[in-house]
Amino acid sequence: MSAKTQRIIGWVLSGIISAFLIVASGVPKLTGQVPEDMLKTLGFTSDTIWRIGIVEVIVALLFIIPQTGFIGAILLTGYLGGAICTHVRIGDLNFIMPIVMGILTWVALGLRQPEIFRLAIGKRVATPG
């Protein structure tokens, strides 16, 4: 597969991840569309879930911006770790989805920026100068 094809796949995957986090997950948190019974089960108030929605949208935006993609992926990993913890704490099997999202986040970034894969396996990345 050519480098150009890998970058395109990486950007498409990044777009899907960010769109899911912003539209399908973040917007309901920001607009108060999370059912009260779900909030109670998760142990959150509507005020807390609104703040979580803000964080989710910000880290998704940081991930999709080329200059901040790496820091966005790191922050997104932390955010998803919190989601995993929340689901495991209540005995909910939905903890698998944030794990998959985290893996896909780093695969997408690695396809966009191949040096990420080189660093992950311990190879040196050439530095300019």
The model's pLDDT over 66-125, given as tens digits with 9 standing for 90+, comes to 999 999 999 999 999 999 999 999 998 889 999 999 999 999 999 999 888 888 887 776
51: domain range?
3-114
Q: Look at residue 124 and tell me if it is in a domain.
A: no
Q: Look at residue 121 and tell me if it is in a domain.
A: no
Q: Look at residue 129 and tell me if it is in a domain.
A: no
Residue owning tokens 């790191």: 74
Q: Look at residue 76 and tell me if it is in a domain.
A: yes
Of 72 and 32, more confident: 72
The tally of domains found in the chain comes to 1
pLDDT at 96: 93
Listed residue (10, 20, 104) closest to 56, CA to CA? 20
Q: Look at residue 125 and tell me if it is in a domain.
A: no
Q: Look at residue 120 and tell me if it is in a domain.
A: no
| Confidence (pTM) | 0.86
